[in-house]
């Protein structure tokens, strides 16, 4: 379930939304603007909103399933991470109604994904789920950073 949701929210749904907006709906928006809009909505919005809920209500999945920690010690920290992820995700989802949110969320989520991806990369003895988190985090960082640089320099 974790792998499927990551694949859907980080690649398939954003790509399908970009394709639909660009080709099917014949949007006049530049391609990079569609990339920002849909990656912020799916990868930063929906993914972080759902991750935040999971981390808050099921912190053990993150501590054990991703980091391999069996102690209860990290659970309060995971729940706080969940609250931050939920807040970021909420604003990412709201960016569909308020397009001015896209760039700030791209920057915030891009920084988060970049740091998280590098931390996963440097962690020895990764679980399979941590490898998935690492790859998807670094991918999201690259997409969101590319969009943010493009938007700021436009």
The pLDDT, as a whole number, for residue 69 is 84
Domain that holds residue 74: 2-153
Q: Would you say residue 86 has pLDDT above 80?
A: yes
Helix and strand numbers (H, E) in the chain are 8, 0
pLDDT digits (tens, 9 = 90+) for 45-74: 999 999 999 999 999 988 887 778 888 888
pLDDT digits (tens, 9 = 90+) for 113-127: 999 999 999 987 778
Domain count along the chain: 1
Residues of 22-49 as b/e, b for ≥16 C-beta within 10 angstroms? Answer: beeeeeeeeeebbbbbbbbbbbbbbbbb
User: Tokens 């099917």, residue?
Assistant: 24
CA Rg value for the chain: 16
């Amino acid at each position: 379930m974790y792998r499927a949701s990551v694949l859907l929210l980080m690649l398939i749904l954003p790509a399908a939304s970009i394709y639909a907006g660009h080709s099917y709906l014949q949007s006049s928006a530049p391609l990079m603007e569609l990339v920002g809009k849909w990656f912020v909505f799916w990868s930063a919005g929906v993914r972080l909103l759902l991750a935040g809920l999971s981390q808050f209500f099921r912190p053990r999945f993150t501590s054990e399933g991703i980091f391999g920690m069996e102690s209860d010690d990290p659970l309060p920290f995971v729940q706080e991470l969940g609250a931050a992820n939920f807040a970021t995700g909420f604003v990412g989802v709201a960016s569909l109604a308020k397009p001015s949110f896209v760039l700030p969320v791209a920057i915030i989520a891009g920084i988060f994904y970049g740091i998280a991806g590098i931390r996963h990369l440097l962690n020895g003895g990764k679980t399979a789920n941590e490898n998935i988190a690492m790859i998807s985090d670094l991918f999201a960082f690259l997409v969101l950073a590319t969009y943010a640089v493009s938007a700021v320099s436009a």
